[in-house]
A and B are shown apart, each in its own frame.
Chain A
Amino acid sequence: MEQADNPSSPARVQDLGSAREGVGQWWMQRMTAVALIPLTLWLVASFLQHVADDYAALTAWLRRPLAAVLMVLLLMALCYHMALGLKVIVEDYVHVERVKVASVALIHLLSVALAVAGIFATLRIALAG
């Protein structure tokens, strides 16, 4: 949680200047949040409905087109939302520049990998004979 001390000289308060961006990520955080409201409610409802299912019944459920499409959408919105959220947390608490940049890069790569793995698994179930 250590950070560089606040500059005592008013001339230094400009720091590196305004990035003139930030609204894009802020907006996407909200858009994915809005998408995730119905999608997570659907996921919870589905879990409750299929909690006692055996393997055959469960894969039968995921083979239904609507379920597969919603699961893919959920994974995309979830991983996007997660990447943005974790990035902000790292930026808040990590003040060693190299560690911060590396952590943010790792978060982005892991989020993409997670989304791809999840979507691939869903499609494999959905499209299996």
Chain B
Amino acid sequence: MLIRSSEQQPRVTLLRRFPVPRNFALARESRIRRGRTWQAPAGAKRVKRFEIYRYDPDSGENPRIDTFEVDVGSCGPMVLDVLIKIKSAIDSTLTFRRSCREGICGSCAMNIDGSNWLACTRPVAGTAEPTTIYPLNRLRVIKDLVPDLTHLYAQYALIEPWLKTRGPAPERERLQSPAEADQLNGKDGKGPAACILCFCCTAGCPSHWWNGRRFLGPAALLQAWRWLADTRDEATAERLDALEDPFRLYRCHTILNCTRTCPKGLNPGQAIAAIKQKIAQRRS
């Protein structure tokens, strides 16, 4: 079916996951086992099941999938509301990041029903039965739904996300025309500057799964473009030098899982294509 915006969920699901074994290629410490089921309380009216990835670093045990039966009639409408309900009423050890609960901090990014999104902006209505919830993909897990983002932040730092200038500082602020500012913010508010660094895209990028050590991934590259597109920045040459690499940039094969999954409706795939064009430009 035709997907018009990233929040749209497919009406029919032909394949919930790729036909590989559940623990395919996972190292011993990463293999997932079946956990326990937390039954719905007596008298619950609208019971929905949630299968959630659990990992307790203090137990010495492997990750497991726990099933929670939740009365969704007695909690808020979003997946984050369900997680908070579970933590407060069923299992207080369930661990996840959350802050703003309105899609602007990027903390509650996780894999819901097989694709990455913010728990606070994903309505429970419309999720699968059972809903499956995993941490962001191919990251070391600290606990439950909390992955270690150190490497992704380091990749963001590598693109030097700050204004770099060469000449003397001007008397007044560095001005931009509205059209120039649109390059960053986007006419529709969906330009690269609207990125909240939730890393849904990078964690959902197969190329980053296989080569995440060297490939910078869509989130960092979208930000690299944000500074290349900034008319006030004067470091384009050295930025392009740092990016032009078979792995850092060209490991992007335009799969476009990034654009499909961005919870802010941004377009990392297009930004990466723009960087490639700029690098091609300086050759002839």
| Mask of B212-230 contacts with A, CB within 8 angstroms, 1/0 | 1110000000000000000
Measured between beta carbons, the chain B residues less than 8 angstroms from A18 are 241-245, 248
Given A1-B25, A13-B157, also A19-B280 (CB < 8 A): no
Given A3-B210, A8-B148, A10-B153, also A26-B241 (CB < 8 A): no
A2→B283 CA distance, assembly (Å): 36
Q: Which of A3, A23, A93 contacts B280 (CB 8 A)?
A: A23
Measured between beta carbons, the chain B residues less than 8 angstroms from A26 are 250, 276, 280
Which of under 10, 10 to 19, 20 to 34, or 35 or more describes the interface residues of B? 20 to 34
Interface check A92, CB cutoff 8 A: yes
Contact A13 B211, beta carbon cutoff 8 Å? no
Measured between beta carbons, the chain A residues less than 8 angstroms from B148 are 8
| Mask of B96-134 contacts with A, CB within 8 angstroms, 1/0 | 000000000000000000000000000000000000000
Interface check A15, CB cutoff 8 A: yes
Total A-B contacts with CB atoms under 8 angstroms apart: 81
Measured between beta carbons, the chain A residues less than 8 angstroms from B44 are none
Interface check A55, CB cutoff 8 A: no
Query: Within residues 147 to 176 of chain B, which ones have a CB less than 8 A from any CB in chain A?
Result: 148, 150-151, 153-155, 157-158
Measured between beta carbons, the chain B residues less than 8 angstroms from A88 are 253
Contact A22 B249, beta carbon cutoff 8 Å? yes
B277: shortest Cβ distance to chain A, in Å?
Answer: 10
Measured between beta carbons, the chain A residues less than 8 angstroms from B27 are 2
Query: Within residues 6 to 24 of chain A, which ones have a CB less than 8 A from any CB in chain B?
Result: 6-10, 12-15, 18-23
Contact B241 A19, beta carbon cutoff 8 Å? no
Q: Which of B155, B210, B213 contacts A92 (CB 8 A)?
A: B210
Taking CB as reference atom, which chain A residue is nearest B241?
A20
Given A13-B151, A23-B280, A27-B283, also A3-B241 (CB < 8 A): no
> Which secondary structure dominates chain A's binding surface?
loop
Interface check A52, CB cutoff 8 A: no
Contact A20 B153, beta carbon cutoff 8 Å? no
Interface check A53, CB cutoff 8 A: no
B205: shortest Cβ distance to chain A, in Å?
Answer: 12
Contact B250 A22, beta carbon cutoff 8 Å? yes
A21→B243 CA distance, assembly (Å): 9
Taking CB as reference atom, which chain B residue is nearest A87?
B246
Interface check A25, CB cutoff 8 A: yes
Interface check A37, CB cutoff 8 A: no
Most buried by B among A2, A4, A91, A93: A91
Measured between beta carbons, the chain B residues less than 8 angstroms from A7 are 151, 154, 213
Given A7-B151, A15-B214, A23-B280, also A2-B25 (CB < 8 A): yes
Taking CB as reference atom, which chain B residue is nearest A13?
B154
A35→B240 CA distance, assembly (Å): 28
Pull 6 A–B residue pairs with CB atoms less than 8 Å apart, ordered by A.
A2-B25, A9-B154, A19-B247, A23-B250, A27-B283, A88-B253
A contact set with B: CB distance below 8 Å: 1-10, 12-15, 18-23, 25-27, 88, 91-93
| Minimum-distance CB pairs A-B, first 9 | A10-B154, A13-B154, A6-B151, A22-B246, A22-B250, A18-B245, A19-B245, A23-B279, A1-B25
List 17 additional A-B contacts (Cβ < 8 Å) besides A6-B140, A22-B245, A22-B246: A3-B211, A5-B213, A6-B151, A6-B212, A7-B154, A8-B150, A9-B150, A13-B157, A15-B214, A18-B241, A18-B248, A19-B246, A20-B245, A23-B276, A25-B250, A92-B210, A92-B251
